[in-house]
Amino acid sequence: MRIVKTIQELRTAIAEAKSNHKKIGFVPTMGFLHEGHKRLLHQANEDNDIVVLSIFVNPLQFGPNEDFDRYPRDFERDEQIARNAGVNILFYPSISEMYPEEPMMIIQVKKGVDVLCGASRPGHFDGVATVVMKLFQLVQPERAYFGMKDAQQVAIIMNMVDTFNIPIEIIPCDTVREQDGLAKSSRNVYLSPEERNDAPKLYEALQKASDCIKKQTCTRSDVIALIKDDLQKLAYGEIDYVDVLSYPRLEPIEELSGKIIVALAYKYEKARLIDNILVNAATGKEC
Ligand code: PAF
């Protein structure tokens, strides 16, 4: 595995791979790799000749009062995981390498941002889209892999690729869960033991909603109320949002039809957790 820290080194490594007609699979991350990332790397390995992993905690996607400084980092551990996962090129740039000066321009995401995480994190998805666009330009992969835990992010990246005619296939991969259903996340380490015991109830609430949709007797408001009702009974934390939207357009739909996302964000003392399920409203099956 080659560890490259500069854009120049990365360009050289990519040019070499391209001249050897290698298909590149790309997994962009902010590090502190967990099982979910391993799954993305595994899939990228299966589908491509070469796997590029980037680790970069992108300041552009954090608001002033968010956890940029506290975001967990452990490069040595990540490096080991990357080696074991068969990564060929690990891109690990510094902030000054990615942003030598304040960017002259950023991508403004116009649709699908005033809902879910976008509503409470203004500018977050502009920061995500901008860094992913930069990384796509540098890595020039055939395919890029994203976890569906961040389903809004996946929808926005798909829209970006579509809008700017970027010839990269976006591969969404299923959320990886702990045995008790909690979605794996780098932020789970910030849960107290009591909060950790509580947290699987988030997914349980989503499952209950999915059962309700399956019976085809629920409206959007019923589903939201059902989940909120469950979350309000939890001993710790507070609801950030619960919503039901079309997917991937991310529009509110009172009549549940087509592919829908049921999503929530919940704030514990030191960690804000998100989770979602995608459901085919016609069959009630998760998809
Ligand atoms: O999902 C993440 O880890 C980040 O939002 C991403 C896609 C690596 C961009 O910084």
Per-residue confidence (pLDDT) for residue 218, from 0 to 100: 87
Distance CA 189, CA 187 (A): 5
- What are the residues facing 53 on neighbouring strands? 27, 90
Read off the tokens for 265. Answer: 């964000």
% of residues, the chain, pLDDT over 90: 87
Task: Using the atom order of ligand 1, give the atom closest to the CA of residue 54.
Answer: 8
Rounded to the nearest angstrom, the distance between the alpha carbon of 283 and the centre of ligand 1 is 32
Name the one residue in this structure whose structure tokens are 């997917």. 247
Distance CA 112, CA 91 (A): 29
Q: What is the domain partition of the chain in residue ranges?
A: 2-173, 190-280
Domains 2-173 and 190-280 share a fold: no
Biggest alpha carbon–alpha carbon distance for the chain: 58
Ligand 1 mutation target, pool 153, 158, 160, 175, most atoms within 8 A of CB? 153
Name the one residue in this structure whose structure tokens are 């589903």. 223
Residue 283 has pLDDT above 90, yes or no: no
Going by pLDDT thresholds of 50, 70 and 90, the confidence category of residue 253 is confident
Ligand 1 mutation target, pool 60, 66, 71, 131, most atoms within 8 A of CB? 131
Predicted structure pTM score:
0.91
Fold of 190-280: Pantoate--beta-alanine Ligase; Chain: A,domain 2 (3.30.1300)
Q: Please name the residues in contact with 143: beta carbons below 8 A apart, sequence gap of 6 or more.
A: 23, 24, 25, 26, 44, 47, 48, 168, 169, 170, 171
Average pLDDT, whole number, for the chain?
95
Rounded to the nearest angstrom, the distance between the alpha carbon of 125 and the centre of ligand 1 is 10
SS3 label, residue 260: strand
Pocket of ligand 1 (CB under 6 A): 28-30, 58, 61, 128, 131-132, 150, 153
Ligand 1 mutation target, pool 27, 30, 95, 173, most atoms within 8 A of CB? 30
| 285 contacts 207 by C-beta, under 8 angstroms | no
Task: Using the atom order of ligand 1, give the atom closest to the CA of residue 28.
Answer: 8
| 140 contacts 24 by C-beta, under 8 angstroms | yes
In this predicted model, what pLDDT tens digit does every residue of 124-154 receive, in sequence order? 999 999 999 999 999 999 999 999 999 999 9
Which CATH class for the 2-173 domain?
Answer: alpha beta
Number of residues assigned to the chain: 287
